[in-house]
Structure 1
Amino acid sequence: MHALYNLAAWMAQPLLRRKLAARARAEPLYGQWVAERFGRAYAAPAVSREDERPLWIHAVSLGETRAAAILAQALRARRPGLRLLLTHGTATGRAEGAKLLQAGDAQAWQPWDTPAAVARFLAHFRPRAGVLMETEIWPNLIAQSAAQGVPLALANARLSEKSLRAARRAAWLMRPAYARLAAAWAQTDADAARLRQMGAPVAGVFGNLKFDARPDPALLALGQRWREQARQAGRAIVMLASSRDGEEAALLWCIRQARASDAAGLADIQWLIVPRHPQRFDEVAQLAQSHGLSVSRRSAWPQSANGSAHESANAAPPAADLWLGDSLGEMPAYYAAARVALLGASFAPLGGQNLIEAAACACPVVMGPHTFNFAQAAESAQAAGAALRAPDMPAALAAALTLARDEAAHERAAQAALALIAAHRGAAGRTADAVLTLMDEGQRQTPP
């Protein structure tokens, strides 16, 4: 059966190349260093000396890379000069990961999960140990690492009920992969229990790394300026955050219906939509305009003299019904600006986006019914009063408008969000200590 998996992965390589070429038309980074996906022609030089062998962290996309940044900071604080190898699967992940690189570090695409590509990857970089972020289970990657004496751990590990059911259906492939991990450090007790059901060697429940994130103060200040500028115009900002396909249409339909029934009823609201995926920015702008809304895109707002995103305090966003957050790396600014955020990916059965980032910026959240990817965080936020849950978009919008307009209720929710973050910090230190122990033990066990 494993041979069939290998055959399928090998046969899928031309399809992967075509998919990358298609994605590169909207996101050019997908078209760069494509050979790395197959274990060839790496941009980073091969590792030859023993003292150059890196600690490898695999963070597939943007959310995992942001968690990896928190871990990397804790690792470097404990061991200055530690060399890191970062791998990614998406363009947004690689772009975000590039910000973490220091002298001696390297970055590459994740090798496609064929025996040959993984073998070439391991031979080129010779990592001392590896950390897979959150959910990244690749059978050949794990099997070959174990065979070559490279211990791999699953950090910030989560496994939803939905994912557990899928893993069980392919237990012949997934159970050996989980069992070959050197360790799994779970976010919650529930995640740990599900991971153990798949045979993972759970070595601790450390919490969620994302609670240790500290938003960039400059971005918070930027968002607060946007909020004040909207307030001076008599408006409160309501945001749809990290939205996915179909969610923007649902919100825009609700806005259109409300405006049709009462033209002045939403005059005090400044709408803000921040799509999850950059390739959808143009699509969402056109969709909003088709619903009769004027749109102002973040990318067209005034910039500072040096061209950075942090414009001067006097530069106000242009007036429009809807602001479109078509920039990367500015989510803290968007959350700081918003009075309340509707949580993307929770109004479709996609599992929800990370609401911890919103809480760290003191932004209350209204969630839809689907938050299985962040179940514990969602439950904790709701219990603390930092988040509300609604069955659908119309109900969520009604709750968001009430919260945005009620100063006392908003302040209670904002303070609850900050208290929630403070109460759950500490995962970064615990995980960093475990990673360094794993790396040192692996080094002692590696034959000279």
Structure 2
Amino acid sequence: MSPAPAAWAWRAAATALAPLLPLWLARRVRLGKEDPSRLGERRGEGADRPPGELLWLHGASVGESQSLLPLMGSLASRRPGLRFLVTTGTVTSARLFADRLPADLAARTVHRYVPLDIPSHVARFLDGWRPDAGVLVESELWPNLLAAAKARNIPLALLNARMSARSARGWAMAPGLARRVLGSFRLVVAQTEEDAARLRTLGAPGAEAWGNLKFAADPLPADPVALVALRDAAAGRPVLLAAQTHPGEELQVAAAHLLLRERLPNPLTVIVPRHPERGPTIAAEIGPLPLARRAAGEMPGPDTAIYLADTLGELGLFYRLAGAAFIGGSLIPHGGQNPLEPARLGCPILLGPHTHNFTAIVDALLEAGGAIRVGDSAALAEQAAAVLTSRNRARRLTDAAARIAAQSGTLPDRLAAAIETLLAPAGDAA
């Protein structure tokens, strides 16, 4: 299929579906996935462009939007007059982004929800905001949005780009559309060389691999008062954290807890689900084990076996509390969550067998001795007990992981310098 027919087909399909989108958005509102007071933003409404130079940055979900923070810090220091328009696609990402945005950046930043990829919506968005350049993170390849930006001569960058083998096979079925979409970007920087190679094959000949921007993030924050309260409640008990778990993992963690208490006196297992709204379901699944739920305002007592931390944005607390952390999404074929979050906070890392979302960094951690691989509940209990009972072993793990985490510290500055090439020279912008 040639570029024009492929792009036309996408545009026509999106236009045809537009009348049905209010019903879809209404359903998402009922599920808590949209802010009912801000649905106009999904139609591209609500533009309030500030004066001066404006950079648009888009990160669809929590991880992508959080990875923008160090990049924005580098850009702000390089261009004092630069302002930011940040778009996200989920309520959770918007909330956490606002919570973690430093005050000096908040004064220069406006947040909006990204418009749906309908021609009229994206035109309204771009004509209202008129960004000087745009940065999209990871795999946000929306044909109508990108075509509209290119038609308006808005220079674009795709950063932290990833392209799985499965996604590449899908795009390869419409090679003209792939070339047209990827040709919208003047700068493409991928996470890994494998990602870059797939992107080059599909239509981004200049794609390079510089590393993963998520690995350059600041340590997750924690409320010091809440941390003291949790440490008092734990009362010196050995604490195993299961961080960002997915369906199918909580029961395995509960089984590991039963094995762990055969090896250790009165351990406490903390489960932080990836999606906190699953809290009631998880509590019901775990069943007879003594459990307390943070979303219900409960604290772990001396007899609590499982503390279910089904709240949002508190993971930094529990990495600081725990003596070892299992990283969720890795005992099932999800691909794992970010293992460098505990590495930055000195928490020993345990990983299941499925870590393909973070292959390069997991390989580096394992090779350096900064993480331990476990295959099932029994291995999780065995290795957690070994770490929780040996300070020397825990320290070797955390020291090695910290060295790996530190290697990505220069990436935001390097990316900021590349983004500056899309903007007018500083003197002209002023």
TM-score (norm 2): 0.87
In structure 2, C-alpha distance between the alignment counterparts of 1:198 and 1:356, rounded to whole Å? 30
In structure 2, C-alpha distance between the alignment counterparts of 1:107 and 1:395, rounded to whole Å? 44
The change in CA–CA distance for 1:424 and 1:28 in structure 2 (over 3 A counts) is closer
Please tell me the residue identity of whatever aligns with 1:3. W
In structure 1, C-alpha distance between the alignment counterparts of 2:148 and 2:411, rounded to whole Å? 29
Query: Do structure 1's residue 164 and structure 2's residue 132 form an aligned pair?
Result: no
The change in CA–CA distance for 1:16 and 1:397 in structure 2 (over 3 A counts) is farther
Query: What is the aligned counterpart of 1:424 among 408, 411, 415?
Result: 408
Residue in 2 aligned with 1:282? 280
Residue in 2 aligned with 1:37? 42
Does the CA contact (< 8 Å) of 1:129 and 1:438 recur in 2?
yes
In structure 1, C-alpha distance between the alignment counterparts of 2:25 and 2:38, rounded to whole Å? 11
Mean CA deviation greater in 208-217 or 121-130? 208-217
Please tell me the residue identity of whatever aligns with 2:293. R
In structure 2, C-alpha distance between the alignment counterparts of 1:22 and 1:248, rounded to whole Å? 28
Offset of 1:397 from its aligned partner? 3.9
Residue in 1 aligned with 2:112? 108
Residue in 1 aligned with 2:422? 438
Q: How many residues align?
A: 419
Query: What is the aligned counterpart of 1:21 among 22, 26, 33?
Result: 26
Does the CA contact (< 8 Å) of 2:89 and 2:113 recur in 1?
yes
Residue in 2 aligned with 1:236? 238
* SS of residue in 2 equivalent to 1:150: coil
Deviation per CA, 1:260-302: give whole Å up to 9, x if none: xxx75454321111111232223223333x2x12222334558
Mean CA deviation greater in 197-206 or 343-352? 197-206
Offset of 1:360 from its aligned partner? 0.8
Does the CA contact (< 8 Å) of 1:227 and 1:338 recur in 2?
no
Residue in 1 aligned with 2:289? 293
Query: What is the aligned counterpart of 1:399 among 380, 383, 392?
Result: 383
In structure 2, C-alpha distance between the alignment counterparts of 1:236 and 1:342, rounded to whole Å? 14
The change in CA–CA distance for 1:186 and 1:284 in structure 2 (over 3 A counts) is same
In structure 1, C-alpha distance between the alignment counterparts of 2:79 and 2:394, rounded to whole Å? 42
Does the CA contact (< 8 Å) of 1:220 and 1:336 recur in 2?
no
Query: Do structure 1's residue 385 and structure 2's residue 387 form an aligned pair?
Result: no
Counting only pairs closer than 5 Å after superposition, residues 294-313 of structure 1 correspond to structure 2 as: 294-300=290-296
Query: What is the aligned counterpart of 1:250 among 243, 249, 252?
Result: 252
* SS of residue in 2 equivalent to 1:52: coil
Offset of 1:67 from its aligned partner? 0.1
The change in CA–CA distance for 1:213 and 1:104 in structure 2 (over 3 A counts) is closer
Offset of 1:323 from its aligned partner? 1.3
TM-score (norm 1): 0.84
Does the CA contact (< 8 Å) of 1:128 and 1:443 recur in 2?
no
In structure 2, C-alpha distance between the alignment counterparts of 1:170 and 1:229, rounded to whole Å? 57
Please tell me the residue identity of whatever aligns with 2:251. A
Please tell me the residue identity of whatever aligns with 2:340. I
Residue in 1 aligned with 2:313? 329
In structure 2, C-alpha distance between the alignment counterparts of 1:229 and 1:411, rounded to whole Å? 24
The change in CA–CA distance for 1:147 and 1:436 in structure 2 (over 3 A counts) is same
Q: Which stretches in structure 2 are left out of the alignment for 5+ residues? A: 1-5
Counting only pairs closer than 5 Å after superposition, residues 200-211 of structure 1 correspond to structure 2 as: 200-202=204-206, 204-211=208-215
Offset of 1:164 from its aligned partner? 2.5
Offset of 1:410 from its aligned partner? 1.2
Q: Which stretches in structure 1 are left out of the alignment for 5+ residues? A: 303-315
Please tell me the residue identity of whatever aligns with 2:252. A
Residue in 2 aligned with 1:143? 147
Does the CA contact (< 8 Å) of 2:158 and 2:185 recur in 1?
yes
Q: CA RMSD in A?
A: 2.9
Offset of 1:335 from its aligned partner? 1.2
Residue in 2 aligned with 1:268? 266
Deviation per CA, 1:338-390: give whole Å up to 9, x if none: 22222112222222111111111122222222222211111111111111223
The change in CA–CA distance for 1:223 and 1:190 in structure 2 (over 3 A counts) is farther
Residue in 2 aligned with 1:355? 339
Query: Do structure 1's residue 376 and structure 2's residue 360 form an aligned pair?
Result: yes
Does the CA contact (< 8 Å) of 2:79 and 2:426 recur in 1?
no
Counting only pairs closer than 5 Å after superposition, residues 48-59 of structure 1 correspond to structure 2 as: 51-59=51-59
* SS of residue in 2 equivalent to 1:137: coil
In structure 2, C-alpha distance between the alignment counterparts of 1:131 and 1:34, rounded to whole Å? 23
Query: What is the aligned counterpart of 1:125 among 124, 129, 153?
Result: 129
Deviation per CA, 1:51-87: give whole Å up to 9, x if none: 4352000010110111011211111122224210011
* SS of residue in 2 equivalent to 1:370: coil
Residue in 2 aligned with 1:308? none
Deviation per CA, 1:175-197: give whole Å up to 9, x if none: 32112211111223232222212
Residue in 2 aligned with 1:196? 200
* SS of residue in 2 equivalent to 1:274: strand
Does the CA contact (< 8 Å) of 1:27 and 1:279 recur in 2?
no
Residue in 2 aligned with 1:65? 65
Offset of 1:222 from its aligned partner? 5.5
* SS of residue in 2 equivalent to 1:32: helix
Please tell me the residue identity of whatever aligns with 2:115. P
Does the CA contact (< 8 Å) of 1:273 and 1:324 recur in 2?
yes
In structure 2, C-alpha distance between the alignment counterparts of 1:337 and 1:153, rounded to whole Å? 39
Does the CA contact (< 8 Å) of 2:327 and 2:339 recur in 1?
yes
Deviation per CA, 1:153-202: give whole Å up to 9, x if none: 11122223333333334434333211221111122323222221222244
* SS of residue in 2 equivalent to 1:33: helix
